[in-house]
Amino acid sequence: MEHRYISKDPAIASESNLPDYDTLRAHFTWQSARRTTVGGNIAHEAVDRHVAEGRGDVIAFRFLAEQGPSREFSYELLARESNRFANVLERLGVAPGDLVFTLSGRLPELYVAMIGTLKVRCVVAPLFSAFGPDPVRQRLQAGRGRVLITTAAAYRQKVAPIRGDLPDLEHVLLIGDDVAGDIDGQGVCVLAPLMAAASTEYSIAPTGPEDPAFVHFTSGTTGMPKGAVHVHDAVVAQETTGRYALDLRPGDVFWCTADPGWVTGTSYGLVAPLACGVTCVIDEADFDAVRWYSILEHEQVSVWYTAPTALRMLMKAGDEPVAGRDLTHLRHVASVGEPLNPEVVEWGETLLGKAIHDTWWQTETGAIMVANFASMPIRPGSMGRPVPGIEIGIVRRDSSGERVIAESGQPVFVTQPGVEGELAIRTPWPSMMRAYLNAPDRYKACFAGDWYLSGDLARIDADGYVWFIGRGDDVIKSAGHLIGPFEVESALMEYPAVVEAAVIGVPDQVVGERVEAFVVLGGGAEPSEAITRDLMAFARRRLGSAVAPRRITCEPALPHTQSGKIMRRVLRARAQGLPEGDLSTLGGSG
C-alpha cells in the first residue's frame, strides 16, 4: 500500500527536540533519562524542582474559568499551594499508599490537590466529572478510597446518594464556597478554610521510584473497570515523551484538552508539561468551536494536544470561527485516543496550517509509545513510530484470531512488514502499569514473556510506521473515552423490567463510536416508547452522560454463543447493516 507523505520543512525539523530520530533511538536508555534527585517524587520533578532551580516565576498554569477572570499559578505558587494541601491531607491522618480520589471539573483546586496528594505519597485516583453515581461507586469501592476531593454539586448529586455503600470513605473535601448545606457530619469538610490555615511549607519524604502515584480506572470487555497502578518513576517516560513526542520546550504555552479524569489529562495535562517546565492552559469549559479557536489565538498556544473527536467537531463547525484568527504561535499539533482519519490530518494542514501528529498509547502504558515526530514526514493515517526507549512488535494471530505464543512463553512475531497482528511492547519502561488493583490475574493476562500485549490490532510498514487496524475486543471508544460494555449492561440490568442487556459501539462520524444498547424485557413488560424513554433516563441518571447509551432498542431475544455468552459482534453487524456472517471488518471477539 502506498501513502502520501507530508514532508517537514528542514529548518523546523532541525530546531525540534528530536532532529535525528535514528541516532537518538540508537543511544537512548531510560537510565540516562532518569534524573538522580532525592526521591524522584513526581511533585518534586514537576513542580518543586523548578522553584529550587530558580524558575519559580514561570507560569505553570493559566486556568480559564467558564465565567469570570482566569487565574495564573507560577511554579512557586503551585509549590506553596500544593504544600498547603499536603499539610491538610496529612492532618487527616492518611498514610502513604492510601488512595485519594478526585471528582471535579477542571478547577485550579483539583490540580493543586493532585500535586499535594503526590507530595504525601498518597495515590491519586481521578474520576471523570461526567460519571454518574454508579461508575463513581464502583471505582471508589474497588479502590477502597479513604479520601475524596470533589465539589458540593458533585457530592450532592453523585456521592451523597451512595454514601452508605462506601464504608471506607472517611473524608470528603469540598472545593468551592457554595457548600453550606452539605456538611452532614460524615466527614465532609470545606477545603478552603483548611487550606487557609495550613502552612505553605512541606518537605517531601524520600519517595521510591516504585512507589505508587496514580491509579487510573480503565475498562475491559468483561468485568468491571480495572485500576491501572502507575508509579513515581513514570515521570521519566512522561517528561521524555513530552520533550520528544510533543516537542515541548521552555517558553512553550501548551494546551492539552483532555480532562484529568482520564490518563491523558494527568500524564499530559499535568505531569509531562510541568516536568518540562512549560506553561499549561487549562480550560474549565466544555468544547465550543469559537471558544477553542479563541483560546488558541489569545493564549498564544504553541503546542496543542487534543483528540480526533474534537478535531472533527472543529471541522464540522466550518471555516467561519477560524477566519481572520492569528494562529501563528501554533508550532506543533498532536492528537491521541482514537483513529485520526487522514481527512482530519489534511484539514489541519489546510485550515490550521499545521499537520496533525497522531500519537498512540493506553492507560496501561502511562505515556506515549508511538508518535509522529515534529522532525519526521507524516503518513496520514499512520500513528507514527515508537518513541526512543520503546521497542514494539506485531504478534501473530492464528486463523481463529488467537495470539500465537511460543512454548518458551514469548509471543511469536510477524516477520514481514505490513502483516496485521497484535501490537506488543517490550517490557519494562518507566510508565508501564505495575498492577491492576486487586486483580493479579487480569494483570498477568496482559503479558507474555518479555512483552506487554496491548489488545490493539496493527501493522508496521517497511519504514517502521505503525498503522492502527482496530481493537481486538468489545470495548467501546466514544469521543476518545473507553467504555466497558459490561459496566453499562450491569446498570441496565438494574432496571426492573430488563432481563438481559447487550451494549455495543456503533460507528459514528464525529465521536468514533456511539454507545447503543439492546435489551430484552421480562415480567410482562411490553416494549413501548414510554418504557424506552424511561430506561434511557434511568441509565443517564445512574451512569452519567459520558457513559449512558445514546439509543436503547428492545429486542425479543439476543444472539448467544453455545456457551450462553451474548454475541455482541452479531449486534454490531446488524447495527451496521452488514450480513451477520460477514464479521471480518468488525474486529472483536464477540
| Residues within the interface to ligand WT7 (CB under 6 A) | 218, 263-264, 336-340, 358-363, 383, 454, 456, 468, 471, 477, 482
Four-residue CA torsion sign, 111, 113, 117, 123: negative
Residue 32: strand, helix, or coil: helix
Please give the Cα distance from 515 to 571 (Å, whole number).
Answer: 12
Rounded least distance, CB 308 to ligand WT7, Å: 8
Rounded least distance, CB 538 to ligand WT7, Å: 26
Burial environment of residue 545 by CB neighbours within 10 A (0 to 12, 13 to 18, 19 or more): exposed
Nearer to ligand WT7, 79 or 376 (CB): 376
SS (H, E, C) 134-160: HHHHHHHHHCCCCEEEEEHHHHHHHHH
Rounded least distance, CB 366 to ligand WT7, Å: 9
Nearer to ligand WT7, 234 or 482 (CB): 482
Rounded least distance, CB 228 to ligand WT7, Å: 8
Residue 580: strand, helix, or coil: coil
Residues 6+ apart with CB under 8 A from 555: 518, 519, 520
Query: How many other CB atoms sit within 10 Å of the CB of residue 416?
Result: 9
Rounded least distance, CB 188 to ligand WT7, Å: 31
Rounded least distance, CB 267 to ligand WT7, Å: 8
Rounded least distance, CB 130 to ligand WT7, Å: 15
Residue type, 381: G
Nearer to ligand WT7, 98 or 247 (CB): 247
Nearer to ligand WT7, 195 or 229 (CB): 229
Rounded least distance, CB 174 to ligand WT7, Å: 28
Query: How many other CB atoms sit within 10 Å of the CB of residue 321?
Result: 16
- Cβ atoms of 411 and 424 closer than 8 Å: yes
Rounded least distance, CB 236 to ligand WT7, Å: 18
| Closest C-alpha to 116, from 79, 154, 162 | 79
Nearer to ligand WT7, 179 or 340 (CB): 340
Nearer to ligand WT7, 79 or 307 (CB): 307
- Of the CA atoms within 13 Å of residue 56, those in its CB half-sphere come to 11
- Cβ atoms of 398 and 275 closer than 8 Å: no
Rounded least distance, CB 389 to ligand WT7, Å: 18
Nearer to ligand WT7, 87 or 362 (CB): 362
Task: Enumerate the H helices of 354-448 as residue ranges.
Answer: 440-444
Nearer to ligand WT7, 269 or 590 (CB): 269
Rounded least distance, CB 340 to ligand WT7, Å: 6
Nearer to ligand WT7, 259 or 516 (CB): 259
Rounded least distance, CB 348 to ligand WT7, Å: 14
> Number of helices (H) and strands (E), helices first, in the chain?
20, 27
| Closest C-alpha to 116, from 86, 71, 88, 154 | 86
Please give the Cα distance from 470 to 459 (Å, whole number).
Answer: 10
Task: Enumerate the H helices of 339-476 as residue ranges.
Answer: 342-347, 440-444
Burial environment of residue 128 by CB neighbours within 10 A (0 to 12, 13 to 18, 19 or more): buried
Rounded least distance, CB 471 to ligand WT7, Å: 5
Q: Is the peptide bond before 428 cis (omega within 30 degrees of 0)?
A: yes
Rounded least distance, CB 59 to ligand WT7, Å: 26
- Cβ atoms of 124 and 118 closer than 8 Å: yes
Residues 6+ apart with CB under 8 A from 417: 459, 460, 461, 462
Residue with cell 459496566: 487
Nearer to ligand WT7, 253 or 383 (CB): 383
> What are the beta bridge partners of residue 424?
393, 453
Beta strands in 257-310 (DSSP E): 279-283, 303-306
Nearer to ligand WT7, 243 or 357 (CB): 357
Residue 559: strand, helix, or coil: coil
CA-only gyration radius of the chain, Å? 24
Nearer to ligand WT7, 203 or 509 (CB): 509
- Cβ atoms of 545 and 451 closer than 8 Å: no
Residue with cell 507523505: 5
Nearer to ligand WT7, 340 or 352 (CB): 340
Nearer to ligand WT7, 279 or 431 (CB): 431
